[in-house]
Amino acid sequence: MTPNPSLVLNKIDDISFETYDAPEISQPTDVIVEVKKTGICGSDIHYYAHGKIGKFVLTKPMVLGHESSGIVSKIGPGVTSLKVGDKVAIEPGVPSRYSDEYKSGHYNLCPHMCFAATPSASGDNPPGTLCKYYKSPEDFLVKLPDHVSLDMGALVEPTSVGVHAAKLANLKFGDYVAVFGAGPVGLLAASVAKLFGAAGVIVVDIFDTKLELAKSIGAATHVFNSKTGGAEELIQAFDGHSPSVILECTGAEVCIGLGVEIAAPGARFVQVGNAGSAVKFPITEFATKEMTLFGSFRYGFNDYKTAVKIFDENYKNGNDNAPIDFEQLITHRFKFDDAIKAYDLVRAGTGSVKCIIDGPE
């Protein structure tokens, strides 16, 4: 068998390097990807620190990682859209092909989802992507254009979260958009809003360095530090515009309330960030404005392809002429052998935005 070096979370505060057998082709449409780049997600850190996220509880060792890109190394006999050597972004969640959610076009809601590095309700731990070789069905891989780097391929996963939120909100040309939270998901959601044709995008956070980054990469037309004022000051900072779309990426009660307060009548509000517990909600103002509230969970049909198309268009004229400087979001890069150091760095909260780990050599 071919060895498959992997980064494994054994339990809270315990990560180790292990070597397993590499996966093999078992279905005609299987593809083996040699993983080259993997981003660290906040959910990875949550499992590392707490061993669970809601009902998803770590009960046995689990290979980490789900934001990855790589090179196709083997294909099954039924694969037609990819060939060995292609660069791909890996969509890490595969639903049951028999669920009502899958059949109705909402496969991200499938209760039998097999999602990389996420414990299932049955106690199984689908393997993550922080390994040398990863097996995926052909239709959950998206080919990367030649001018889109593997680093950007690793950013496709969190960008797809922003794409999904924008689609839920029916975000369209001319909308004014407020994004709460300037972490990786918020910055990518703001970037998507800008590229979808928003007339203005204001990013709200409490850290000036994050807000400066939102403007520097080209995602935000306006920024606002919510420590400096409330709804009136925020709207003033947005040149008097009450946003028609709110993308709430923090899960913080104060941000949710402020989002409703600043929203225009008829606004669409998408809850992207998760809260640790129940929050108070300004239901009366929400109702009298006839707003629409959307829950947003991961990504669904065509969101990955849309995210890849965003990178395709963004970089078609070269990095120096890209409308959004996504490269700035990658603040730290690590070799695979230093992956534990990478996790500790992100867990410590020492100013990293997106940390990318190379695949095993």
All domains in the chain, ordered by first residue: 3-147+327-358 (3.90.180.10), 160-295 (3.40.50.720)
Burial (CB count within 10 angstroms: exposed 0-12, middle 13-18, buried 19+), residue 355: buried
Separation of alpha carbons 218 and 195, rounded Å: 10
* pLDDT at res. 55: 85
Res 123: pLDDT:
67
In angstroms, rounded to a whole number, what is the distance separating the alpha carbons of residues 93 and 301?
A: 12
Structure confidence at residue 134 (pLDDT) = 98
Other CB atoms within 10 A of residue 34 CB:
17
Q: Decide: helix, strand or coil at residue 344.
A: helix
The conformation of residue 23, written as its DSSP 8-state character, comes to: P
Residue 210 carries which side chain, given as an amino acid letter?
K
pLDDT, averaged per 10 consecutive residues of the chain (361 residues), comes to: 97 98 98 98 95 90 97 98 98 97 97 93 84 98 98 98 98 98 97 98 97 98 98 98 98 98 98 94 98 98 98 95 97 98 95 95 90
Helix pair 150-168, 303-314: axis angle to 10 deg: 120
User: Hey, what amino acid is at 282?
Assistant: P
Half-sphere exposure of residue 320: CA atoms within 13 angstroms, side-chain side: 0
Q: How far is CA 266 from CA 199, 242, 258, 289, in A?
A: 17, 11, 16, 6
Tokens of 334: 């690590």
Q: How far apart are CA 320 and CA 331, in angstroms?
A: 18
pLDDT of residue 54: 84
Kindly report the length of the chain: 361
